[in-house]
Copies of this chain bind each other. A is one copy, B any other.
């Protein structure tokens, strides 16, 4: 049942790099990934149907299309994919989710870039570190991305994705950036985009707009928390998604 369904057959990709943007500490991955989709005006490419994902219906402003909450966007010029999610992945289903999407990555020669915030009191520009599995080691070394100074652990769905890659010998890179975990952190997302995603994907991404949107992002995060809470309630409801979708 679990599968990823390509919705745009006319997009050609050649061993693309995928930026994972699941909601996590500081929303660093989601902010960076959503920014890529908007900045490059990426195309809706695939819908993600894995066991345990909440079956809710998402719509964008000024459009009447219904989409699933976890989607893949593509930019064929840049050979780039983004995994975007409007809902958090339950930690109890993280393992199933990892198995579900990694299978598709493997079958389609996708190289994933996993993003995680490291909860730290920051001092100046947040530091960013790289971890890797398989051939990912060469990629981070080639870009001069340093390993973490201190040992640590990545939890949640991104932890499951990295764990799964390590177990099955699948190539991947993980970027870990210092963040204030309790608040959306566009500054940390900027560091990921400029010093990690940019060089690794060989793309140039403008991040000025990102910095101007701090307020909007804070509001979006409150919506996310509310939405998450209300998805547990018994009644059907439509809710606005304000901000940087």
Contacts and interface: CB of A to CB of B under 8 A. Distances in A.
Query: How many copies make up the complex?
Result: 5
Most chain B CB neighbours (cut-off 10 Å) among A152, A153, A159: A153
A240 to B, nearest CB: 5
Interface string A152-181: 111111111011111100000010100001
Contact of A155 (B91, B118, B230): B230
B241 A151 contact: yes
Nearest to A173: B64
Contacts of A154: 56-59, 236-239
Contacts of A22: 236
Contact of A152 (B23, B149, B165, B240): B240
Given A5-B167, A133-B66, A240-B150, A91 B59 contact: no
Nearest to A89: B234
Given A69-B153, A155-B227, A94 B235 contact: no
A49 interface: yes
A174 B62 contact: no
A233 interface: yes
B236 A156 contact: yes
Contacts of A199: none
A87 to B, nearest CB: 8
Nearest to A57: B162
A232 B92 CA distance: 8
